[in-house]
Structure 1
Amino acid sequence: MAGPGALTQSGIRRRNLARVLHALAAGEPLSRAAVAARLGLTRAAVSTLVDELLRGGLLTERDPAPGRPGAVGRPGTGLLLADRGPCGVGAEIGVDHLAVCVMDLRGRVRVRRRRESHGRDGRDTGPEVVLAGLTDMLRAAVAEAADAGLRPAGLTVAVPGLVVRNTATVLHAANLGWRNADLDGLLPRDLGPVTVENEANLGALAELWSGRGAGESFLHVSAEAGIGAAVVIDGELLRGAHGFAGELGHLPVRPEGRACRCGGRGCLEAYAGEEALLRAAGLRPGPGIRVGALAARCEAGEPTALRAVRQAGTALGIALSGAVNLLDPRRVVLGGALSRLAPWLLTPVSRELARRTTVAAGGRGTPVPVTVSPLGPDGPLLGAARHSVRAALDDPAALLRR
């Protein structure tokens, strides 16, 4: 059955306006004729839609558009998404940092701000204090963006915890010490629609939307203080019944092992999370002591650091093997802070996957490849901003009414 408005003129118009914008989101300028061919619409229909989007400031023209090889006649005017007007705003709440960025409709980051540490290293600091600081940063970033002719069309916030689906409620963020934290009334409402999302999910979506994971099935592992994961199946994020899919960090790798902040024992995070890694390497976690310091020791060949990372890689490989056996992804992607340690993590992770996954161990194929996201620690923040941009592109009619 068709959805609400799908068969009305208004519904068709809204859908086709969005289709035009998404057709241009890849970045290269296209003529009206090229957009019509790509969407399967008539040139007249596309011209009407394009004229509306141009009047609304969502598109710009560049003359001429690149011609097709062998094409006859003067090439048409090129169309591009506007680099002024509506923009997406992304924010990230980390254990020891806050970050915001503003992205235009073309996907370019135009403003970026970061603040190290909030409260007592972020742990057990109430959401009211953290969100007050984040709001100050958002206000400053949006003011700077306004000087460049940009206005916010939505805000997406990345949080390292379980977010109740379709709400702004953080059910549990163990590394922040938050439980049942409703962020809805703590975030600014004048930046457009607000979305709160798990940071690992946004890191995976950033990978997907970058084009490297388009239409693919992969498991994206993200880490800051904790370890999260997101599952993408055939180009779609797998959320689970309650939106909590991907809690890789709390899979047990040693069922009766160390206590974890989540209340369980033997979780992956207790062996491969940032704090566990630093302590195993002889580093005392604290302000300024992060994975970068550990990577520097590994680069210098420091034996204790190398051993700590190898042991963490083994634990990570054990946890990943269960996920790979269950989900059969095409690849595993390391993102977040773990990407800094990839030169020393990849070998033990790949070794455990080869030993423990059915495809490799059964002799029916090669182990699932483990790759490193070039987005690195920036994935969740960029995914948050891109989420806001895509939401704007999905509903251009709402932008045109503003």
Structure 2
Amino acid sequence: MSAQVRPSRPRQPERPVRQENLRTLNLELVFRHIVAAGGPISRTELATSTGLTRPTITRIAEELLAGQLITEGGPAHNGRAGRPRVGLTLSEKGPAGLGLDIRADGLAACIVDLTGTVRHLAFAPSAGRDAPDVLAGLAHMADAAIDAITAEDLTVVTATLAVPGPVHAGIVQSAPALGWRNVDAGALLRGATRHLDLPITVDNEANLAALGELYASDNTLSSFVYVSGGLGIGAGIVLDGQLMRGARGWSGELGHVTVHPEGEPCPCGSRGCLQTYASLPAILSDEPVPAGTTPDAAITGWAEAGRPATLAALDSAGTALGIALSDMLNILDIDTVLLGGSFSLLASWLTANARAEVQRRVLTATWAPITIRPALLGPDAAVIGAALTSIDQIRQHPTTWLALRPSHSRPTAPA
């Protein structure tokens, strides 16, 4: 019996491509080729790779140069004989992206330029857990970062805030580790900063950290699970180079996967969640953190000193983590797990038990080994990923930046 095939949706009527639209499409095409080149690329090479004429390439290059999106760098080496051609490369001035993060050990702010280089990275102690206080602290850091980077001829054009919980339409639906529910974090942040006109995006910190790791790997790591451990536990899932957000953008709540059905109560309202066994508060088990020390630093120090209670808590956390990961890996068929956030600092004590559970429970682990290792960017993955996500908007749509520069001259020659 053949399956019923539903008729496809009617196609939208095609519209003519207007001159201004064609100009924008060509400019963005050329700019993406410059981004992808990873180094100086000549105008001639751009004409060949894009299929555009040399005069069009010249006009677009002049517009990008005037807009501080590219610069004329070293010679473009194409392996051919003859005089080296002048190369075009991404500018280290002009637009920049701001990332902000709420961490287990405090707050963080990061600014990256168009090349993806970190130009500013700062940390501050935690401002408690009350949303207005936390976001006021981040606003102060954002203002200080923007003021500092302006002196380097950089302009922050957008900001991305990383939060430990699911986000929908800019609203933090729930962040049990902070006690937040239905918090309009973007509005609170915008209201507390002096840079009120700065567009602000709010996203889950594990998702942003996963994107940070993807950028940092130059896309050589195309499928992996990023596990962010701290006050809570989240996961960013990357499949074939794309972040998997789920139908409503709430995928990756690994901390609320049940590992013991009749276990400890969780702030989310359920019982036996991974978070109740493997988060920093669970590992600390009400043990006070010495003044001037962060939770992960305290745990690391006690573990290195061989403190039995700490080592037992880490063993339990690693086992619980492995159980939760096994369920995820059996479903997703992914062969790499990155331990990030505070877990990147505690990986030496978590990995063995987590790997043992994965080896025991994942069906394919016997003939297809699974790698569990610390994340490349460590605890800074979320804030760097947030900043890179911000600047990536300009990489994808450079005309957004050019539109912000009213003095920028636009050629009138046809595209």
TM-score strictly above 0.5: yes
SS of the residue corresponding to residue 244 of structure 1 reads: coil
For residue 17 of structure 1, what is the amino acid of its counterpart?
L
1:15-71 per-residue CA deviation (whole Å, 9 max, x = no partner) reads: 333333333336422222333444454444332221110111211112423x222x0
Once the two structures are aligned, what percentage of the paired residues are identical?
A: 42
- Look up the match of 2:73: 62
Whether the 8 Å CA contact 1:154–1:191 is kept in 2: the answer is: no
Give the one of 101, 112, 115 matched to 2:121.
112
- Look up the match of 2:60: 49
Alpha-carbon distance between aligned partners in 2 of 1:80 and 1:15, rounded to the nearest angstrom: 19
1:53-93 per-residue CA deviation (whole Å, 9 max, x = no partner) reads: 0111211112423x222x02111112121111111111112
1:220-261 per-residue CA deviation (whole Å, 9 max, x = no partner) reads: 101121110011111111111111100000001001100111
Give the one of 213, 220, 230 matched to 1:224.
230
Q: CA deviation at 1:133?
A: 2.1
Long gaps (5+) in structure 1: none
Decide whether aligned partners of structure 1 residues 62 and 289 sit closer, same or farther in structure 2, where only a CA change above 3 A counts: closer
- Look up the match of 1:246: 252
Give the one of 263, 277, 285 matched to 1:257.
263
Q: CA deviation at 1:293?
A: 2.1
Alpha-carbon distance between aligned partners in 2 of 1:230 and 1:6, rounded to the nearest angstrom: 40
Give the one of 273, 293, 298 matched to 1:293.
298
- Look up the match of 1:175: 177
Alpha-carbon distance between aligned partners in 1 of 2:147 and 2:81, rounded to the nearest angstrom: 47
Confirm whether residue 267 of structure 1 aligns to residue 273 of structure 2. yes
1:354-389 per-residue CA deviation (whole Å, 9 max, x = no partner) reads: 1001112xx5x1332112212010000000100110
Long gaps (5+) in structure 2: 1-10, 405-415
For residue 121 of structure 2, what is the amino acid of its counterpart?
R
- Look up the match of 1:206: 212
SS of the residue corresponding to residue 186 of structure 1 reads: helix
1:305-345 per-residue CA deviation (whole Å, 9 max, x = no partner) reads: 32221221110000000000111113111111101111222
Decide whether aligned partners of structure 1 residues 37 and 129 sit closer, same or farther in structure 2, where only a CA change above 3 A counts: same
Whether the 8 Å CA contact 1:357–1:367 is kept in 2: the answer is: no
Q: CA deviation at 1:212?
A: 5.2
Confirm whether residue 157 of structure 1 aligns to residue 161 of structure 2. yes
- Look up the match of 2:307: 302
Give the one of 12, 27, 41 matched to 1:30.
41
Whether the 8 Å CA contact 1:88–1:389 is kept in 2: the answer is: yes
1:146-176 per-residue CA deviation (whole Å, 9 max, x = no partner) reads: 1111111111110111101xx2111111111
For residue 183 of structure 1, what is the amino acid of its counterpart?
A
Give the one of 29, 33, 58 matched to 1:19.
29
Whether the 8 Å CA contact 1:152–1:191 is kept in 2: the answer is: no
SS of the residue corresponding to residue 208 of structure 1 reads: helix
Alpha-carbon distance between aligned partners in 1 of 2:267 and 2:395, rounded to the nearest angstrom: 39
Alpha-carbon distance between aligned partners in 2 of 1:4 and 1:204, rounded to the nearest angstrom: 37
Decide whether aligned partners of structure 1 residues 383 and 358 sit closer, same or farther in structure 2, where only a CA change above 3 A counts: same
Alpha-carbon distance between aligned partners in 2 of 1:49 and 1:224, rounded to the nearest angstrom: 46
Alpha-carbon distance between aligned partners in 2 of 1:187 and 1:207, rounded to the nearest angstrom: 26
SS of the residue corresponding to residue 388 of structure 1 reads: helix
- Look up the match of 1:378: 380
Whether the 8 Å CA contact 1:216–1:330 is kept in 2: the answer is: no
SS of the residue corresponding to residue 342 of structure 2 reads: helix
- Look up the match of 1:389: 391
Q: CA deviation at 1:5?
A: 7.7
Confirm whether residue 79 of structure 1 aligns to residue 95 of structure 2. no
Whether the 8 Å CA contact 1:160–1:173 is kept in 2: the answer is: yes
Whether the 8 Å CA contact 1:170–1:183 is kept in 2: the answer is: yes
Give the one of 230, 233, 240 matched to 1:234.
240
**Worse-matched range after superposition: 381-390 or 71-80:** 71-80
1:111-165 per-residue CA deviation (whole Å, 9 max, x = no partner) reads: 22221020xxx23x1x22222222122111111111111111111110111101x
- Look up the match of 1:148: 152
Decide whether aligned partners of structure 1 residues 331 and 212 sit closer, same or farther in structure 2, where only a CA change above 3 A counts: farther
Q: CA deviation at 1:214?
A: 4.3
Decide whether aligned partners of structure 1 residues 212 and 109 sit closer, same or farther in structure 2, where only a CA change above 3 A counts: closer
Q: CA deviation at 1:95?
A: 4.9
SS of the residue corresponding to residue 187 of structure 1 reads: helix
Decide whether aligned partners of structure 1 residues 299 and 38 sit closer, same or farther in structure 2, where only a CA change above 3 A counts: farther
For residue 181 of structure 2, what is the amino acid of its counterpart?
R
Q: CA deviation at 1:213?
A: 4.4
Decide whether aligned partners of structure 1 residues 113 and 331 sit closer, same or farther in structure 2, where only a CA change above 3 A counts: same
- Look up the match of 1:186: 188
SS of the residue corresponding to residue 116 of structure 2 reads: coil
TM-score (structure 1 length as normaliser): 0.90
Aligned residues: 388
Confirm whether residue 10 of structure 1 aligns to residue 20 of structure 2. yes
Q: CA deviation at 1:6?
A: 8.9
Decide whether aligned partners of structure 1 residues 162 and 55 sit closer, same or farther in structure 2, where only a CA change above 3 A counts: same
Alpha-carbon distance between aligned partners in 2 of 1:6 and 1:285, rounded to the nearest angstrom: 65
Give the one of 103, 114, 126 matched to 1:94.
103
Whether the 8 Å CA contact 1:335–1:376 is kept in 2: the answer is: yes
Q: CA deviation at 1:211?
A: 2.6
Alpha-carbon distance between aligned partners in 2 of 1:99 and 1:228, rounded to the nearest angstrom: 18
Alpha-carbon distance between aligned partners in 1 of 2:220 and 2:24, rounded to the nearest angstrom: 25
For residue 131 of structure 1, what is the amino acid of its counterpart?
L
- Look up the match of 1:358: 363
Alpha-carbon distance between aligned partners in 2 of 1:285 and 1:261, rounded to the nearest angstrom: 21
